[in-house]
Structure 1
Amino acid sequence: AVDWKAEVWVNDVKVGEHTGGFTPFYFDITSVLNKGNNDLVVKVWDPSDRGEQPRGKQIANPHGIWYTPVTGIWQTVWLEPVATQYITNLKTTPDIDNNSVKVEVAANTTSADKVEVKVFDGKNLVAKGAALNGVPVELAMPANAKLWSPDSPFLYNMEVTLYKDGKAIDQVKSYTAMRKFSIRKGQNGITRLQLNNKDYFQFGPLDQGWWPDGLYTAPTDEALVYDLKKTKDFGYNMVRKHVKVEPARWYTHCDQLGLIVWQDMPNGGPSPQWQARNYFNGTEVIRSAASEANYRKEWKEIIDCLYSYPSIAVWVPFNEAWGQFKTPEIVAWTKEYDPSRLVNPASGGNHYTCGDILDLHHYPGPNMFLYDPRRATVLGEYGGIGLVVEGNTWVNDKKNWG
């Protein structure tokens, strides 16, 4: 399978390569640096829709709802000096039922180093814990812990320190939130979405994250956050991030502003059979072994990358049968890998009786035509109606697809 690939070279020495275009990667370039000036080159190969890799809405011949493909680097790039031994990743899991937070701290060392985690409400220390040998730190939160919601997006500050022989050798600052996403069968036998153990109606746009002046990349951070602020202004409490993964800052803005996120896998590919109005009884896409392995690898990397953002409520592995394969198996894996969130098997079908959500699409709609008492039944997409105002469209097009 032809896949997206990046190579990094420093002073004509190749220091590494990375496949998969939706998650961050890094390389240690210390050993090839010279005093004074250095040349750093990033080479990118992107076959767009000629490859089998996840690509979202990118195609070589953009038209209708299919967009100009992105080439090169579209997320933030930076250089960072670190200690010889340092913290590489944090994974935080809140549990409001047991009033605790689990923090898993990864470092580039395997020795019996101690990690210490402190949690703050503003400047007030409210929880503290430590662990050795990579064991997760379990933190007991205050009895009156503040819960995160779109109406009150409270974030606890977090400070994590790595110790070697009793001496602090690295420290990072982060944040976490106390919140829970679930489903529950309630009145009249209807299963509903819940936030913090209470029924919560989620309402928001299909946010595709394309920019006329940068495609996948917002021109400024102010532009990135503006869309989210307007989403809140319009009265929405969630966004579905549609077949795209955003830079880290976008998710932090959602955490801070109080917007629930449904996160899609940016899957592309053929959908030879799509049964949107009934449960699927046909033949799914048959992927090559390389294509299937690539999907699984990138989906895991996306979940790993975004796991600790409190605003993310739902994982969406497929959209409208685009490249959809082995749905019950993929859904079961996703649910097992992250049991703290809901899984929406296939937004708009093909529909299987698995996961937490039955997601219907109807254009222009709205219309609900299926129902599942065991899962939350949602209207995942409808509308698609555009107002074309002359002089205010990126392309001078009098027509509109919707």
Structure 2
Amino acid sequence: MRVLKLCLLFTAFLFTFTSLNLQAQSWQPAGDKIKTEWGENLDPDNVWDAYPRPMMERSEWMNLNGLWDYAIRPVNSQTPEEFDGEILVPFAVESSLSGVMERLGKENELWYEREIEIPSDWEGSDILLHFGAVDWKAEVWLNNIKIGAHTGGYAPFSFDITPYLQDGSQTLNVKVWDPTNDEGQPRGKQVNEPGGIYYTPVSGIWQTVWLEPVSNASIKDFRQTPDIDNGIVNFSVDTRNTQPGDVFEVTVRDEGEVVAEQRAGVGQELDVPIPDAKLWSPESPFLYRTEITLHRDGEEVDRFDSYFGMRKISMERVNGIYRLHLNNEPYFQFGTLDQGWWPDGLYTAPSDDALKYDIEKTKELGFNMIRKHVKVEPARWYMHADELGMLVWQDMPNGGDQPNWQRTQFFDDGVLTRSPEEEATFKKEWKEIVDYLYNQPGIVVWVPFNEGWGQFRTKEITEWTQEMDPSRLVNSASGGNHFPGVGDIMDLHNYPPPEMHLYDGMKANVMGEYGGIGLVMDNHLWDTEKENWGYVSYQSVEEVTDEYVNFAEMLIDFVDAGFTGAVYTQTTDVEGEVNGLMTYDRKRVKVDAERVRDVNRRVIEALD
């Protein structure tokens, strides 16, 4: 009998071990494209497990990333009864790390399904379902009830799922439709036929999905605006289910020590004094830590942690030339064009460490700014930029045609327009992006249009952006289709060398794109079948570095002529483009880092 029991126990153990092992082996990266080290070591049971919204961090949350069921079905199909397999969320269906690597196309929809168990100690709380980003049109069901929808591929959204919960487990379904470049939607560099400067489509869930318990009366969102000239930070909150007499409180800490603490009734704004404020800059990225609480009848009902940086961005005239200023001092902003693409995850970095790595390497190379090019990142990317000390120019992920791009003269062909539906789609998503990123101290410039892509009503969009956020500068039209007197920045593009082919004496003038020095590195190429390219190509790290230094020294000469910022193309190789400072898999730096760092310092200091 004892032997029989031991045999049964061993059989049960073997079955359990085998089941767990098979489950762990059920996901594998798809395809044979190059991988980053983070992608090669990805654990599907621990995917993007860092807190997804650090600007508003509560103590409890549940990560829903991991393996979900998926199905690709024709448009307007019913919820699938059977699924095609498993997909690793939050990686887009076209990516290798999703485990699927299939194209969607506008004739199909992508369905997701997973089961959720709500923790028993969340009973009595309202449960919020958060999506970091889903590209492009998402519809959400809980327990076979449609609870909401969202269009737009770059901003977070959420639903209160409390009224739809049932006893036991919950069934969550998400349906996504994404026509990419067939409908004129904001989509950055995604196209259905990738090539040249355009890349693979990204469809479906591509940022973290998560649950959060909150009190019935709670804070939905908040705004903070630093004012270094008056030594204050302005706070306001947006709440849910509050009533007269409810109070919010802001506590500000410097290295744990309370330096300010104030309260106001919900609906009011607070100007919180910050005595002897420590200013935030790339050289000294000091962040104040805050606690924001909501009180009812003297009791705390909601609380989250946050942070802010005391900094000011402006443009001021110096010796007859408008210069970019940081904290009331002239400051040359020198950065890289950062596309934010990954060979294994496409839009989604394989991990939080990978996301941070690109900023760290950019900083190590001596840059003080990143232009986040026609893409919006997860909230943690902006947190890393804030903590590491990196200025950010944030692009709108443009979509639409480029019927007329005038690069070397002011625009002289009337007012650019798009269809009413496309204009409304653009404005909805641009507002969501500005609202989403408003609190990040690192962001100093908004860029609504790039090189004429889908550009329309430039003066109107510029003024509207300035109204949404008067605290930052607006670079209306990066690279062309410039309108005199519109926006704060004249942004020129020229490849490969920098060139001052146009000047606006009423704006800050910058070289918004230049460079693109190419170098093919074998065993680090996305596509070995097609020709890989740069705007100019060389055969060695030494030759690339020589040309990089040559272009940087040209920039130094242009500083006296009026340039006050510049952006080098680009941080990494992307698909067929091999003009990055790093390879696409981030395994090789393609320049002499010390020489690049030294000449970058000289460019930045040339303004002095």
TM more than 0.5: yes
SS, match of residue 230 in structure 1: helix
Distance 1:101 1:297 in 2: 28
In structure 1, how many angstroms separate the alpha carbons of the residues matched to 2:401 and 2:165?
A: 45
Alignment correspondent of 1:134 = 267
Tell me: CA distance 1:398–1:58, structure 2 relative to 1, closer, same or farther (3 Å): closer
Structure 2 match to 1:118: 251
| SS of corresponding position for 1:26 | strand
SS at match of 2:209: coil
Matched, 1:332 2:487: no
Quote the offset at 1:401 in angstroms. Answer: 4.1
Judging by fraction of residues, say which structure has more helix: 2
Question: Hey, which bits of structure 1, 4+ residues long, moved more than 6 A?
Answer: none
User: Conserved in 1, the CA contact under 8 Å of 2:217 and 2:242?
Assistant: no
C-alpha distance in 1 between matches for 2:341 and 2:426: 23
Q: Deviations over 1:170-198 (max 9, x none)?
A: 101000110000000012x1110000000
Match of 1:184 in 2: 316
What SS is found at the alignment partner of 1:81? strand
Match of 1:77 among 189, 206, 209: 209
Q: How does 1:47-66 map to 2 (within 5 A)?
A: 47-66=179-198
Secondary structure at the residue paired with 2:139? strand
Deviation of 1:76 after TM superposition, in Å, equals 1.2
CA distance in 2, matches of 1:42, 1:121: 42
Q: Which blocks of at least 5 consecutive residues in structure 1 are unaligned? A: none
- For residues 140-174 of structure 1, the C-alpha deviation after alignment (integer angstroms, 9 at most, x for no partner) is 111x2100000000000010010011111010100
Q: Write out per-residue CA displacement over residues 84-129 of structure 1, whole angstroms, 9 at most, x where no aligned residue.
A: 1111112110000000001111110241210000100011111111
The within-5 A match list for 1:1-400 is 4-112=136-244, 113-142=246-275, 144-187=276-319, 189-353=320-484, 354-396=486-528, 397-400=530-533
Residue 54 of structure 1: how far off its partner (Å): 0.5
CA contact (8 A) 2:409 2:482 kept: yes
- Kindly indicate whether the alpha-carbon contact (under 8 Å) linking 1:271 and 1:285 is maintained by their aligned counterparts in 2: no
Q: Which residue identity does 2:409 align to in structure 1?
A: N
CA distance in 1, matches of 2:514, 2:373: 14
1:29-62 Cα deviation digits (max 9, x unpaired): 1122222221111111111001121111000000
Q: Deviations over 1:60-81 (max 9, x none)?
A: 0000110001011011110111
Q: Which amino acid aligns with 1:233?
A: E
**SS of alignment partner, residue 174 of structure 1:** strand
Letter aligned with residue 265 of structure 1: M
Contact 2:492/2:510 (<8 A) preserved: yes
1:2-27 superposed Cα distances (whole Å, 9 cap, x missing partner): 99310111111111111111100001
For residues 333-356 of structure 1, the C-alpha deviation after alignment (integer angstroms, 9 at most, x for no partner) is 111221100000100011112111
Letter in structure 2 aligned against 1:324:
Q
Contact 2:336 / 2:370 at 8 angstroms: preserved in 1? yes
Aligned equivalent of 2:576: none
Aligned residues: 399
Identical positions, percent: 58
Amino acid at match of 2:454: G
Corresponding residue for residue 97 of structure 2 = none
Deviations 1:203-226 (A, max 9, x none): 010000011111110000010000
**Structure possessing the higher radius of gyration over alpha carbons:** 2
User: What letter matches 1:116 in structure 2?
Assistant: E
Report if aligned partners of 1:161, 1:168 keep a CA contact under 8 Å in 2.
Answer: yes
Alpha-carbon distance between aligned partners in 1 of 2:401 and 2:416, rounded to the nearest angstrom: 7
Report SS of the residue matched to 1:78.
strand
Letter in 1 for 2:351: T
Mapped to 2, the partners of 1:110 and 1:352 lie a distance apart of 45
CA distance in structure 2 between the aligned counterparts of 1:324 and 1:299, rounded to whole angstroms: 13
Q: CA RMSD in A?
A: 1.2
Distance 1:166 1:52 in 2: 51
CA distance in 2: counterparts of 1:334 and 1:343, whole angstroms: 7
Contact 2:189 2:374 in 1 (8 A): yes
- Could you state the TM-score of these two structures normalised by the residue count of structure 1? 0.97
Change (3 A) 1:50 1:174: same
User: How far apart are the structure 2 equivalents of 1:135 and 1:19?
Assistant: 31
Per-residue deviation, 1:283: 4.0
Residues 398 and 296 from structure 1, CA distance in 2 versus in 1: closer, same or farther, beyond 3 angstroms? closer
Helix, strand or coil at the partner of 1:31: helix
Q: Which amino acid aligns with 2:408?
A: R
Distance 2:468 2:416 in 1: 24
Alpha-carbon offset, residue 28 of structure 1: 0.9
Distance 2:461 2:521 in 1: 43
